[in-house]
Chain A
Amino acid sequence: MKEVIQVRTEKEITAIYERQADTVWRVCFSFMKNHHDAQDMLQETFIRLMRSDVRFQDAGHEKAWLIVTASNLCKNALRHPERIPEDIDGLWDLAAPERQDTGLAEAVLALPPLYQEAVYLYYYEGYGTEEIGKMLNITPSAVRSRLARARTMLKLEMEEEEHEK
């Protein structure tokens, strides 16, 4: 109803950023798989927040909104060919310099985008399949199906890695 687009103060944006930046980053990084694009998407998500007049009911609502917005932005960005690719081998130097065992993390990153959201929301954020269904606009059974397939993919990936060792 108003043409002044921004309805949040810098203080509010900063407070929400402090609370949710890690979550949004994990979503963005798992989709984009590179530091540069993940930062872009992190910024874009909060710029969307800045322009949105959504009033959050609680921290859970706030987080859910950001996760869905970040996911949508990332999925959209992945369709654009100008995305900057990054050498997967150098990825861990930027994302987690202290981490040595990156097998499962790499397997998670290798999951198709279709499964990324469900896996992240279920295993990391602890949402139930019904909640995830609402967020992704799919049925709870579809969520369970995606989780099962993703889990199978991860398991196979890890088994292959073990054999290679």
Chain B
Amino acid sequence: MKNEKIREAYDSFRLDDQTRQAALENILEASRQERTASAGKRKRRIRRLTAAAACAVLLLGFGTAAYALGWFGLRDLSVGKDDHEVTRYRYPDGEPYQKMVESEILSLGGYTGTPEYEAFAEWDAYRRSYVEAHRDELTNEVTAPNGYYDTYFCCFPEMEEKLDEILEKYGLKPVENEQDFEGASLQDVCDAAGIGSILPDRADTVWEAGCYAYVFDNGSFHLETSLYTGEEELLDFSLNRAVYGSLYPYGVNIRDAERFTEWQFTTEEGVPVTVAEIREPFTDAYGQNCAPTALVLIGRPESMVTIGISPREQAYYLIDGVRYKDEELPEGVIGTPESHHWEYELPSREEIRDFVEDLHPEQIP
């Protein structure tokens, strides 16, 4: 039997135009319905810092002396824990199931004791409890709020009032006029944020994939992209800059504190850097399967910069329901988590250090 014959057999399973169009319309309609529902629910939008974000609160003794030196750690950013119901997918059949997980939120706007941190902690706690208490009132018909209230997911007028009260209490401004980018260059994002280039020095051998980014008019921004070296893919990274004097609306959802390790170094330009890293695959609070990750924390004179680094995943992307050996599998779940592997590892400490140096954090105000 010729291979071509088998190919022809599959060719006969043709998607006719009518079905093609009908299915697409159904998919897009489902998309619209979910977007409407999502806008109505307006739960927290905690943005990704990479394919991951994670946490750990095993902390070294960061105290006043550490701040004076410019170092701070994950513990100094934590604003509390919350339980989340997440949807997971059984491996290998893709069957969804619900699971409760506890997760911790990090402030991206400032460390403990700063107005930015305190305001975010207060707003986040309020918003969570308010939404939980009014969950039944959240319907698809809830209208998206206007202006910066939308950025902070104020679903009800009371939330708008509370937000303004917190802003006034801490003397902060809201971030506004979000500008979104898809497929942009790093330089485009830097230009929009009004900062210098953070393109690595090795730009002749390293180039970027298109960026996903959003930039606020005060220069706060978040970008996600990938860097490549020659033919070999290097890593995914994200960079978040929260300008002081404003309430940064997003936090980072972290989960398994026990698996992070922190270490510090000072760049050649004298910038103190903390790196919190987890070198084993893990799952975050929303059930995302996450690669080994490093969170780089940098305090700058005008902003707080957080960089997420993870290797590009291969096998992980191919299986929706992949899970890992350290995760407890619910009853009835089948699969051999050990059989999944990661083809790439988190860069070494030396490589992370070189990467951070290459981004020239001293150029970010």
- Where the two chains meet, the residues of A that have a C-beta atom closer than 8 Å to any C-beta of B are 1-6, 10, 13-14, 17, 21-22, 25-26, 29-30, 35, 39, 42-43, 46-48, 50-57, 61, 64-65, 68-69, 72-73, 75-76, 79, 92, 94-96, 99, 102, 104-105, 107-108, 119-120, 123-124, 134-135, 137, 151, 154-155, 158
Contact = CB atoms under 8 A, between A and B. Distances in A.
Among B12, B24, B28, B315, the one with the most A-chain Cβ atoms within 10 Å of its Cβ is: B12
Q: Which 4 pairs show the lowest CB-CB distances between chains A and B?
A: A72-B94, A25-B15, A96-B12, A105-B9
Contacts of A99: 12
A79 to B, nearest CB: 7
A5 B26 contact: no
B301 interface: no
Contacts of A73: 94
Contacts of B314: 134
A105 B15 CA distance: 15
B134 to A, nearest CB: 16
B279 interface: no
A68 B285 CA distance: 24
B13 A6 contact: no
A3 B82 CA distance: 13
Contact-residue bracket for chain B: 35 or more
B125 interface: no
Nearest to A151: B1
B276 interface: no
Given A3-B43, A124-B6, A43 B94 contact: no
Given A13-B27, A21-B23, A104-B5, 18 more contacts: A1-B253, A3-B41, A3-B44, A21-B15, A22-B15, A35-B19, A43-B27, A52-B320, A64-B318, A68-B318, A68-B320, A69-B320, A94-B16, A105-B9, A105-B13, A108-B6, A124-B7, A155-B1
A95 B317 contact: no
B45 A4 contact: yes
Contacts of B317: 54, 56, 61, 64-65
Contacts of A57: 233, 312
B6 A6 contact: no
Contacts of A105: 9-10, 12-13
B54 to A, nearest CB: 9
Interface stretch (B31-39, B60-68, B263-271): B31-39
Interface string B21-59: 011101110111011001001011111110111000000
Contacts of B218: none
Nearest to B28: A10
B79 to A, nearest CB: 15
A55 to B, nearest CB: 8
29 contacts: A1-B284, A2-B47, A4-B38, A5-B38, A10-B32, A14-B24, A25-B19, A25-B20, A26-B13, A48-B320, A50-B34, A51-B34, A55-B226, A55-B236, A65-B317, A65-B318, A68-B318, A72-B93, A75-B92, A76-B93, A79-B93, A95-B14, A99-B12, A104-B8, A108-B6, A123-B3, A124-B6, A134-B314, A158-B1
Nearest to A99: B12
A102 B319 CA distance: 33
Nearest to B12: A96
Contacts of A13: 27-28, 31
Contacts of A151: 1
A39 B9 contact: no
Nearest to B41: A3
Contacts of B28: 10, 13-14
B121 to A, nearest CB: 18
